[in-house]
Structure 1
Amino acid sequence: MRVQLIIGFLILFISEILKVYFIMPFPGSQQSDTIELAYFLHQYIWYLRILGIVLLAYPLWKNFKIGSKLTKIILGGLTLLWLGVVYLFNFQLTADHMFYQPKNKTMASGSDNKIAKDKLILGVVHNGQAKAYPIQLIGYHHQVIDTVGGTPMMITYCTVCRTGRVYLPFVNGKYEQFRLVGMDHFNAMFEDQTTGSWWQQATGESITGKLKGKTLRSFPSEQVSLASWLRQYPNSLIMQADSLFKEEYSGLKNYDSGKGKSELTTRDSLSWKLKSWVVGITLGKTAKAYDWNTLLQKRIIYDTVEKHHIIIVLEKDGKSFHAFKSESPFGMLDLVLKDNQLIDSQSDAVWDMDGKCISGKYQGSSLPKIQAYQEFWHSWKTFQPNTLVMK
């Protein structure tokens, strides 16, 4: 009976703890490829609980009937401890009990907006409608479901990876709902309501479950300051803070500048360290990363990717960045950054920071935009394992 008691309690304790340990940022939990084991534990936890209880039922009954007082105290204590573990690991330490969706989602015009203009936002434009989502807010919520230009969108952000992504929440043509379930390799994971499959925030890919290998369609977005966004889209709506989450938002008040409360969200000021900032782009089949410190110093980076001449430029605010193909409808450009404008050294045509030609030979045209992300180096190299690096 002693062996049976030990095995029963081990099954109950280990399965309950590992079910959460593997998908939350506990020491050592995010380095290994344990996602399939974590998913197994989530799917079959009730079977494991029943197995443990069945193994314990007779020995517990027998010991409480004829066992010594000390034995009864120990077994009773272990049972109460297990119940405490169940409560802690299912109602306190799980992602969807730590991070909630906004209860009062309010979108305000520029005139009614209460978000500071220097705050970073994730901006989306579709069918003539622009909306801005402050990172301080969506960083806590991890995802916000909204409609932009008549299309449902899933606005996501993972503060531990510094990844902002926008997806269309449709799976096999059907609108799907998602909940935050945890993280894998320090990246947020969402679970779809229909099949219970788990989806990676950084890539939009289902990494385990019935839909493994499926990918959500991504949608273009920009990470810039609210001031920069409103310059481009003065009629944009801006997500406002939900008064129910004031304390949670305050914990991210310095996140924009890389000063988080947690070591997991704090920037490393040196280059090419795990939590250094990079700008990542994917053009064609090529992914490439650029050092944020270099961009801060030079404010413009030139490169050639997939035979395209590209530039990455940083605005004067030191926050808002843009990536463009350095070309016009008539050929390649030789763009030089002067003040807060881009000037073609060959024709003296002038582009603003939004990529619009405001004077000269190409007036009225725009530079082709490239989707670019600012994130931690550990995130970009994990989810873009074949990335090239410009050093």
Structure 2
Amino acid sequence: MSRLSLFVSGIFFLIILEIAKVYFIMPMPGSQQANTIEAAFWIHQHVWFLRVAGWIIILLTAVPVLRRPQRPWHRWLSIALLVAYLVVGYLFNFRLLAEKMFYQPRHKQLTHLDKNKVPMDRLVMGIVRHDEARAYPVQFIGYHHQVRDTVGGEPVMITYCTVCRTGRAFSPLVGTHPDDFRLVGMDHFNAMFEDSRTGSWWQQATGKAIAGPLTGQSLTELPTQHMTLREWAALYPNTLVMQPDADFQESYDKMKPYETGKSKSDLTRRDSLSWHDKSWVVGITQNRASRAYDWNGLLRVRIVNDTVGQVPVVLTVGNDKASLFAWKRQLDDQVLTFLRLPDGSLKDTQTGSVWGKNGVCKDGPLMGRQLQPVQAYQEFWHSWKTFHPSTDQKL
């Protein structure tokens, strides 16, 4: 093989390497449908060794090719290929990497409601730990993808993937030690994080490590609720609310249409029809059984009494057509059936007791009793069926 051929082969090898390093873990044509995570992780682990090998080939052949080319156009071809490699290297290392596109807040601020600047109709992910409530607007965490915080003295990792519409909160403990995570890319269109100690890759929708030394382990998920800030504030008037970081106002502004389903991007748009990939569903898992409820159907009926994994549940939507509430509808040995009242509260048909949106009975024979909350998620149908392949459908 001639020196020119070796030089060209080295350049093409490096170009393909830089593209492949990002292609498999970012939403590029065809990259997210296949099970390529093992190949992506192998490239990630060995990328510097592979780069050095390519650079050695180039260094050994570049001088003779550029100084004494067999034909004049060989020099210009070589220079053009070097420029192409530099452009590709820049794009795929400084522009198209997930961590170079989305950043964590630089000035994180949470305030009480009397100083809150977030409109009350914005969607939030709410979390309560040890009687301390906090709300994280989807408009902000959808851009950041993760926000680290301490709630009730406990470290928490609030995450959101806009392409899947999945909001999850985790304890950031890997083993017994809190760890730092960076957004590294995507797997099956779902955000993926890398821990700082072992370099393992973790799936945002499930909290599972899918590549690296900790493959198969899971982060502990923390319960969250999905509703407007107005509904959250009514339930938790002492809540703290995450405020916008002025450094990212332009990115937040671009996120405004997202939560109401008006995004124009093919990755984050909503399909208003039911059971399409980008249709909204509500997912519930109990005892390893999963069920998806069509959001359009849920808005139509407003309340569903159901049984998932042999657990009686009730699922309802607020009057704002955005807030979501779910509980187990069993007290001791009694299974209750609920009707929805005009103000959004519930009434069970067995005793006639009235229940508030916090799941506490506020009037009737069962006054003071508390329903146990059920974790329910609103997300895109393609996400729920990907990560819950045995799910069934309703409505």
TM over 0.5: yes
- Unaligned 5+ segments in structure 2 are none
Measured in 2, the distance between the counterparts of 1:101 and 1:337 equals 40
Deviation at 1:50, TM superposition (A): 1.3
Q: Which of 254, 268, 284 pairs up with 2:271? A: 268
Measured in 1, the distance between the counterparts of 2:238 and 2:210 equals 38
Q: Residue 252 of structure 1 contacts residue 261 of structure 1 at CA under 8 Å; is this kept in 2?
A: no
Match of 1:43 in 2: 45
Q: Which moved more, 1:42-51 or 1:160-169?
A: 42-51
Match of 2:12 in 1: 10
Deviation at 1:330, TM superposition (A): 5.5
Match of 1:352 in 2: 356
Provide, for residues 199-233 of structure 1, a one-character-per-residue CA deviation record: whole Å limited to 9, x for no partner: 00000001001111111000000011000100110
Provide, for residues 289-346 of structure 1, a one-character-per-residue CA deviation record: whole Å limited to 9, x for no partner: 1111111101011211232221110110000011111222451112111212211222
Match of 1:60 in 2: 62
Q: Which moved more, 1:203-212 or 1:53-62?
A: 53-62
Measured in 2, the distance between the counterparts of 1:64 and 1:325 equals 74
Secondary structure of 2:182's aligned partner? strand
Deviation at 1:260, TM superposition (A): 1.2
Measured in 1, the distance between the counterparts of 2:350 and 2:43 equals 63
Compared CA separation, residues 170 and 66, structure 1 to 2 (3 A): same
- TM-score where L is the length of structure 1: 0.98
Structure 1 position 150 matched with structure 2 position 157: no
Q: Residue 193 of structure 2 contacts residue 201 of structure 2 at CA under 8 Å; is this kept in 1?
A: yes
Provide, for residues 15-36 of structure 1, a one-character-per-residue CA deviation record: whole Å limited to 9, x for no partner: 1101011111111111111111
Measured in 1, the distance between the counterparts of 2:9 and 2:231 equals 61
Q: Which of 366, 372, 387 pairs up with 1:383? A: 387
Q: Which moved more, 1:372-381 or 1:349-358?
A: 349-358
Q: How many residues align?
A: 391
Measured in 1, the distance between the counterparts of 2:345 and 2:114 equals 27
What does 1:274-313 correspond to in 2, within 5 Å? Answer: 274-313=277-316
Measured in 2, the distance between the counterparts of 1:30 and 1:334 equals 42
Match of 2:190 in 1: 187
Secondary structure of 2:267's aligned partner? helix
Measured in 1, the distance between the counterparts of 2:224 and 2:326 equals 12
Measured in 1, the distance between the counterparts of 2:277 and 2:212 equals 29
Provide, for residues 132-169 of structure 1, a one-character-per-residue CA deviation record: whole Å limited to 9, x for no partner: 00000000000000000000000000000000000000
Match of 1:141 in 2: 144
Secondary structure of 1:310's aligned partner? strand
Q: Which of 315, 330, 335 pairs up with 1:327? A: 330
Q: Residue 290 of structure 2 contacts residue 309 of structure 2 at CA under 8 Å; is this kept in 1?
A: no
Match of 2:225 in 1: 222
C-alpha RMSD over aligned residues: 1.1
Q: Residue 99 of structure 1 contacts residue 140 of structure 1 at CA under 8 Å; is this kept in 2?
A: yes
Secondary structure of 2:147's aligned partner? strand
Deviation at 1:95, TM superposition (A): 0.6
Q: Residue 109 of structure 2 contacts residue 243 of structure 2 at CA under 8 Å; is this kept in 1?
A: yes
Q: Which of 243, 253, 256 pairs up with 1:253? A: 256
Measured in 2, the distance between the counterparts of 1:31 and 1:150 equals 40
Structure 1 position 33 matched with structure 2 position 29: no
Secondary structure of 1:265's aligned partner? coil
- Unaligned 5+ segments in structure 1 are none
Match of 1:207 in 2: 210
Deviation at 1:3, TM superposition (A): 3.4
Secondary structure of 1:122's aligned partner? strand
Secondary structure of 2:368's aligned partner? coil
Measured in 2, the distance between the counterparts of 1:61 and 1:268 equals 56
Match of 1:341 in 2: 345
Deviation at 1:128, TM superposition (A): 1.1
Q: Which of 128, 136, 157 pairs up with 2:131? A: 128
Q: Residue 11 of structure 1 contacts residue 48 of structure 1 at CA under 8 Å; is this kept in 2?
A: no
Deviation at 1:129, TM superposition (A): 0.5
Match of 1:19 in 2: 21
Letter in 2 for 1:40: W
Structure 1 position 363 matched with structure 2 position 370: no
Deviation at 1:235, TM superposition (A): 0.2
Measured in 2, the distance between the counterparts of 1:238 and 1:176 equals 24
